[in-house]
């Protein structure tokens, strides 16, 4: 059969119209079932681009009242402390496992932490429907404090299975820290949610940069107390996570609607989810794959804890320090443009890491900022584009998917390192980021043409 010129384009246009009509119908059904939650808009493009619903706001509502500011301070403080906990515990756990069971096993405990984060994202978002958000986040941090103490015992005994269990529990605290960015976004109007997410991610810089720098001192302190050097970071992790749990005391953040919602497959079909999910997945997979192997590779080449800590500090500085700038860019240019830039930075940084292995600090800093662009941009797309009554479920499901796939990357990274080397791992990560960037460009181009 001969198809007339333009027939394919018209057919695609009708197909796109049907999909967007379905999404609009889902949003309308949500409003009908739960009319009390209509403050958050559901933009026609799903929050992918810069629309009137997520354009910068200049009215008085853009400024938070005092009680909202106190909530933001609590959220940011908890995230900062938890990021320090994660930085020291993840690095120390990979070194303990690598020393006890060989290089190929070094990624097992950090992978358990990533799995725990994915499971925790689902568990905590379900608890949001029954309990105050602050209570749930504080409980996640309290579990992390217990896991830090358990990790110290495991490090002293050289018990890798016990250490793996401790890291699995630590993931619940990390899930609480990750979900805090969405709780912060809901305090702001749509046009400033990129800034809110960027502020929470930026607050993690203090812990994420300072934590690795304390690997050496915490190890020396443990040595003076008669403990193994690698037990020190876990004691530090227990203390910081405990303080984070205490920081969650105070005014309530609210409880989500517990009514039955849409199927997850419907939520994943929304434009915002289709844009954010692949970008956030590849950013997390690339970052975890390279950074899980980096301290093990340095340790194999004779670098001490101090050198490992300095390199990780440079990477985490890239991950978090420029987050407010990224948030402003999201509010100004839209989430899709920022995530595309992030993918490009990931491609370049990992390729340079493969070519110039001695320039670790510079390339890993760039890797961190590429992740930041993808993470903040993708989170903002979700925060603006999700239906209000379903936002927590969608955000939790996306985080669970992202962290589950990152767990696979983390587990495989040291296996690739042991058999092919650090350069091969970096080149593979670069190719993956390039593939997703090309896919995003191909998907976006027809939609942009249709909108014109």
Domain assignment present for 291: yes
Domain assignment present for 192: yes
Q: Could you tell me the CATH number of the domain that includes residue 286?
A: 1.20.1250.20
pLDDT of residue 66: 59
Domain assignment present for 10: no
Q: In degrees, to the nearest 5, what angle opens at C-alpha 174 toward C-alphas 171 and 175?
A: 90
Domain assignment present for 395: yes
pLDDT of residue 282: 94
pLDDT digits (tens, 9 = 90+) for 283-339: 999 998 888 788 888 877 777 777 787 888 788 788 888 898 999 999 888 888 999
pLDDT digits (tens, 9 = 90+) for 373-382: 999 999 888 8
| Cα separation values, 8 from 13, 22, 65, 125, Å | 8, 21, 53, 42
| Cα separation values, 9 from 12, 447, 450, Å | 5, 11, 9
* Residues 116, 104 contacting (CB under 8 angstroms): no
Per-residue confidence band for 223, with pLDDT thresholds at 50, 70 and 90: confident
pLDDT at 24 over 80: no
pLDDT of residue 68: 66
Number of domains observed in the structure of the chain: 1
pLDDT at 204 over 60: yes
pLDDT at 53 over 80: no
pLDDT of residue 358: 80
More confident: 55 or 225? 225
In the block, residue with structure tokens 């269990």: 165
Per-residue confidence band for 428, with pLDDT thresholds at 50, 70 and 90: very high
pLDDT at 45 over 80: no
Domain assignment present for 27: no
With 0-12 / 13-18 / 19 or more C-beta atoms within 10 angstroms meaning exposed / middle / buried, residue 433 is buried
Mean pLDDT along residues 198-203: 87
Domain assignment present for 274: yes
Domain around 221: 66-254+263-451
* Global pTM value: 0.69
């Amino acid at each position: 059969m001969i198809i007339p010129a333009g027939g394919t384009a018209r057919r695609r246009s009708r197909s796109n119209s049907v999909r967007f009509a379905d999404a609009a119908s889902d949003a309308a059904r949500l409003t009908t079932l739960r009319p009390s939650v209509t403050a958050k808009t559901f933009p026609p493009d799903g929050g992918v681009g810069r629309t009137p619903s997520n354009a910068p706001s200049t009215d008085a509502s853009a400024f938070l009242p005092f009680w909202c500011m106190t909530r933001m301070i609590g959220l940011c403080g908890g995230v900062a402390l938890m990021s320090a906990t994660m930085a020291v515990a993840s690095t120390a756990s990979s070194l303990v496992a690598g020393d006890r069971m060989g290089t190929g096993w070094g990624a097992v405990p950090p992978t358990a932490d990533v799995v725990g984060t994915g499971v925790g994202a689902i568990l905590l978002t379900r608890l949001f429907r029954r309990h105050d958000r602050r209570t749930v986040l504080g409980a996640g941090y309290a579990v992390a404090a217990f896991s830090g103490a358990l990790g110290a015992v495991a490090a002293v005994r050289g018990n890798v299975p016990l250490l793996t269990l401790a890291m699995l529990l630590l993931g619940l605290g990390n899930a609480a820290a990750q979900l805090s960015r969405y709780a912060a976004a809901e305090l702001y109007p749509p046009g400033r949610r990129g800034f809110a997410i960027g502020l929470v991610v930026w607050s993690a810089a203090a812990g994420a940069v300072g934590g690795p720098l304390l690997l050496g001192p915490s190890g020396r302190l443990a040595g003076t107390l008669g403990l193994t050097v690698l037990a020190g970071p876990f004691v530090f992790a227990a203390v910081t996570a405990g303080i984070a749990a205490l920081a969650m005391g105070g005014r309530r953040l609210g409880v989500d609607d517990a009514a039955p919602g849409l199927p997850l497959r419907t939520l994943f079909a929304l434009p915002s989810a289709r844009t954010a999910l692949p970008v956030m997945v590849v950013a997390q997979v690339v970052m975890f794959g390279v950074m899980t192997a980096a301290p093990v590779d340095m340790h194999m080449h004779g670098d001490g804890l101090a050198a490992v800590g300095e390199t990780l500090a440079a990477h985490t500085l890239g991950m978090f320090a420029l987050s407010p700038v990224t948030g402003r860019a999201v509010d100004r240019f839209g989430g899709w443009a920022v995530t595309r830039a992030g993918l490009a930075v990931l491609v370049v940084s990992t390729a340079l890491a493969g070519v110039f292995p001695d320039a670790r600090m510079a390339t890993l800093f760039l890797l961190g900022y590429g992740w930041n662009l993808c993470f903040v941009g993708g989170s903002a797309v979700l925060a603006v584009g999700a239906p209000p009554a379903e936002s927590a479920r969608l955000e939790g499901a996306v985080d669970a998917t992202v962290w589950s796939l990152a767990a696979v990357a983390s587990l495989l990274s040291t296996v690739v390192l042991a058999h092919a080397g650090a350069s091969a791992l970096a080149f593979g990560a670069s190719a993956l980021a390039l593939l997703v960037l090309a896919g995003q460009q191909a998907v976006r181009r027809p939609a942009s043409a249709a909108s014109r």
